[in-house]
Amino acid sequence: MQQELTALQDVQGMYEWFQRMRDTQPVWLDENSGCWHVFRYADVNTLITDSTLFSSERRQRPFARPGTRTSPTGEKRERRTGRSIIAMDPPQHRQYRNLVSSAFTPRALSRLSHRITAITQELLDQARPAGQIDFVTDIAYPLPTMVIAEMLGVPTSDRPLFKQWADGLLNRQLSDAEFFRPDETAAHNPEMERLQTLFEEMSDYFEAKLEERRLQPRDDMMSALLAAEVDGEHLSIDDVISFCILLLLAGHVTTTNLLSQSIRCLDEHPDARAQLSQQPELIPGAIEEVLRYASPVWRLARTTTADVTMAGVTIPKDSFVFGWLASANRDERQFSEPARFDITRTPNRHIAFGHGIHFCIGAPLSRQEASIALPMIIQQLPDLQISHKEPLQLFQGRNLFGFQHLPVTFTASK
């Protein structure tokens, strides 16, 4: 079984493994890493929504290794990683979420829609004459990166830097055992050092940008976050830095995956693609089906606050538990014919954006980006096809499901 967990390059094999685990070991302890894994929809849903039994606050913080707190850099790192919204429980989470939500309003999002259209058009204009592109490098990566960069207020020309950080942090080469038990197994692991250095680079980058805003506020999210106030409370500078880092990372790589998985799903299901070009009103439903069928975030983690029994198995207190969204979203106990890609599926209660108090803040933005870009791509590159000359290269790491590259061809035009 252990070998199968590491065989993430084979997508079909992975879904078959999920199926077997749902049927035979829906709650499984990976003895190698000491982490637990949960596969069924109902259990994953409980894991991510019941914050009393399953805490988001990481007890083992990968970037805050023992000993590092004694140095000024270590202290800074501890403050910034320890207070990420994604790793908070109530009541702290509620207070923080209210603060950041006040800078993340539907109005701020709707203002972006014309920019999303303009950026997509710009990227398509560059792509059309070529007849072949790398869909990830040329469209799926730059679009959400430019959008989140503009939203935050950082220069879009710093894109190569963001890519370097995102690739470096999310394509990690550490096993679960090394990553989640840094004190025991990776104390001197050069890969862990590399991750910490990248994290510090990002922190320093945002610290400098925020200092500029503190002196002279602008019309951007960094300034809004600095000014955010609920019941007289402001965010500390470390909180704002930590949130900017999360937004930058969560705001582009996941949506890159959603866009490239959409292209893969439509390539594999030409009927669905033909239907979408005739009936663009089906686009929102198609995007929900991509999110279910090829969930961009594969798994989420929580820590048990007490002994918990799930599917007849008791997970001890203080255990690290992964909930596989990708498996939950293919659970036949929840979805009829889950392996079928059906753009008209109703209801489609997938949990690709999570559920409960940590439900993705950026979900409306991702949905907006995909629902603007996809019809433009279908209309302007009508015969776009994935070029299968070489096997598709999956994103490394265990948490995200996307491609490093997606070579596509189409009839060149002006």
Distance of CA 383 to the CA centre of its chain: 29
Residue from the set 14, 123, 124, 148 that interacts with ligand HEM by CB under 6 A: 148
Residue closest to ligand HEM when measured from CB atoms: 362
CB 254, min distance to ligand HEM, A: 3
Stretch that binds ligand HEM, among 57-65, 164-172, 228-236, 295-303 (CB under 6 A): 295-303
CA distances from 82 to 57, 151, 152, 241, 243 (A): 8, 25, 22, 12, 11
Interface map 97-116 toward ligand HEM (x if CB under 6 A): x-------------------
Site size with ligand HEM, rule: CB under 6 A: 25
Q: Does 311 bind ligand HEM (CB under 6 A)?
A: no
CB 325, min distance to ligand HEM, A: 6
Stretch that binds ligand HEM, among 2-10, 220-228, 349-357, 402-410 (CB under 6 A): 349-357
Q: Does 83 bind ligand HEM (CB under 6 A)?
A: no
Residue by residue, what is the 3-state secondary structure of 112-174?
CHHHHHHHHHHHHHHHHHHCEEEHHHHHHCHHHHHHHHHHHCCCHHHHHHHHHHHHHHHCCCC
Tokens 């190569």 found at: 160
- Cβ contact 276:367 at 8 Å: no
Segment 222-261, which members bind ligand HEM (CB under 6 A)? 246-247, 250-251, 254-255, 258
C-beta of 14 vs 258, nearer to ligand HEM: 258
Tokens 């402001």 found at: 234
Please report the sign of the dihedral spanned by the C-alpha atoms of residue 47, residue 54, residue 186, residue 69.
positive
Give, as one character, the DSSP assignment of residue 394.
Answer: E
Q: Phi/psi of residue 33, each to 5°?
A: -100, -20
Q: Does 136 bind ligand HEM (CB under 6 A)?
A: no
CB 246, min distance to ligand HEM, A: 5
- Cβ contact 244:222 at 8 Å: yes
Interface map 190-229 toward ligand HEM (x if CB under 6 A): ----------------------------------------
Q: What angle do CA 262, 221, 283 make, to 5 degrees?
A: 20
Residue from the set 46, 304, 327, 366 that interacts with ligand HEM by CB under 6 A: 366
C-beta of 97 vs 213, nearer to ligand HEM: 97
Name the β-bridge partners of 400.
297
H or E stretch at 223: helix 221-227
C-beta of 123 vs 410, nearer to ligand HEM: 123
Stretch that binds ligand HEM, among 9-17, 65-73, 212-220, 356-364 (CB under 6 A): 356-364
Interface map 158-197 toward ligand HEM (x if CB under 6 A): ----------------------------------------
Assess whether the previous peptide bond of 347 is cis (omega < 30° from 0). yes
Q: Does 353 bind ligand HEM (CB under 6 A)?
A: yes
Alpha-carbon distance 315 to 290, whole Å?
32
C-beta of 138 vs 288, nearer to ligand HEM: 288
- Burial degree of 166 (CB within 10 A; 0-12, 13-18, 19+): buried
Q: Does 143 bind ligand HEM (CB under 6 A)?
A: no
129-158 as b/e, with b when 16 or more CB fall inside 10 Å? eeeebbbbebbbbbbbbbbbbbbbbbeeeb
Q: Does 48 bind ligand HEM (CB under 6 A)?
A: yes
CB 106, min distance to ligand HEM, A: 13
- Cβ contact 199:77 at 8 Å: yes
CB 89, min distance to ligand HEM, A: 10
Residue from the set 47, 119, 300, 406 that interacts with ligand HEM by CB under 6 A: 300
C-beta of 93 vs 410, nearer to ligand HEM: 93
**Contacts to ligand HEM by CB under 6 A:** 48, 56, 85-86, 97, 148, 246-247, 250-251, 254-255, 258, 296-297, 300, 352-354, 358, 360-362, 365-366
